[in-house]
Amino acid sequence: MSQTANTVLVADIGGTNARFALADLSASVPLNQSSIDEYPVTEFASLADAAAHYLQQQGASAGSGVFAVAGRVDGDEARITNHPWVISRSRTAAQLGFKQLHLINDFVAQAMSIALLGPEDVVQIGGASWAPAPAGESRNYCVLGPGTGLGVGGLVARDGRNYPLATEGGHASFAPASPEQIRILEILSAQFGRVSNERLICGPGLVNIHRALSEIAGTDPGHLQPADVTARAAEGDAVAARAVEVFLEIFGAVAGDAVLVQGAWDGVFLTGGLVPRLLHELQHSGFRQRFESKGRFSATMSQIPSMAILHPCPGLLGAAAYAVDMQRAASGVSA
């Protein structure tokens, strides 16, 4: 087969940057790490222009693509919040000369990345260990990622195929688990009305928690960014340090709830921009205690792995995994 037939262009499109890479479907490790490049979306009029520029820069060609987008995919079209592009699958495929182009939600890609993760790509949080599943074995996983928002997805492995689950679990209602969290909920309810998990577990959510704790303490923190809260915590500011602790405790509770709702008995994977930045704090926090604290299911939860993803580009890895799975489905071959 020619390079074009074996090569798939994969992309991870966010609100600010577009990442591209090449995937070789015939390789045991399909994602070509050395081919990864990133561009600000404002530099190009369309996704097709950015993709064509990338291929030209690489001196490469591809016959198909898998593009993960941080937004809802509705039929032929995808729209991303705060994004200058409206992405049409059919029009983009035609402009790039692709025989096939898949547009997938970014958390479909995050979920699919689990299929290609190795032990070197993750860090264990808590006492339950994880190892990649042998080929063909059934598995149920979930994935959560706090970044600009809170993404939640799942992966069901059956009969050599991987089936990603796109969900909006980040918008499930926040359930406080202590008097302090009840007070935080009251403060945020006065501002937002309904309070979802995403109002607390994401970058802006960390700021919301800090602002609520500051109000409880009778202080005004001023206008802060998430990095300001973590910086203050590192400098020893008591309210900021408690905000990070509360954030991670709630994150653990939400992750445990996602396991229960999805039946993800084989593990939960933590991704998103905040996870690597807060890895040390995550390892020494109440995350795991709140994850396991599920009443009659506590003993079961103590056996379920929770893994922080440290792979630098899990969205691209997942897009490559999706391409491999689509090829297997088309050829009728199981893993």
pLDDT at 86 (0 to 100): 84
pLDDT at 99 (0 to 100): 92
pTM above 0.85, yes or no: yes
N- to C-terminal Cα separation, the chain: 20
Cα of 147 vs its chain's centroid, Å? 8
The Cα 77–Cα 301 span in angstroms is: 39
Query: In angstroms, what CA-CA distances link 268 with 8, 84, 106, 255?
Result: 28, 33, 17, 7
The Cα 11–Cα 38 span in angstroms is: 9
pLDDT in tens, the chain (335 residues): 345 568 999 999 987 889 999 999 888 889 999 999 999 989 999 999 999 999 999 999 999 999 999 888 888 988 876 677 889 999 999 999 999 999 999 999 999 999 999 999 999 999 999 999 888 899 999 999 998 889 999 999 998 889 999 888 999 999 999 999 999 999 999 999 999 999 999 999 999 999 999 999 999 999 999 999 999 999 999 999 999 999 999 999 999 999 999 999 999 999 988 999 999 999 999 999 999 999 999 999 999 999 999 999 999 999 999 999 888 777 765 55
Could you tell me what percentage of the chain is helix, strand and coil, using 3-state DSSP and rounding each to the nearest 5?
45, 25, 30
pLDDT at 133 (0 to 100): 87
The Cα 247–Cα 35 span in angstroms is: 36
Kind of pairing, strands 73-74 and 64-69?
unpaired
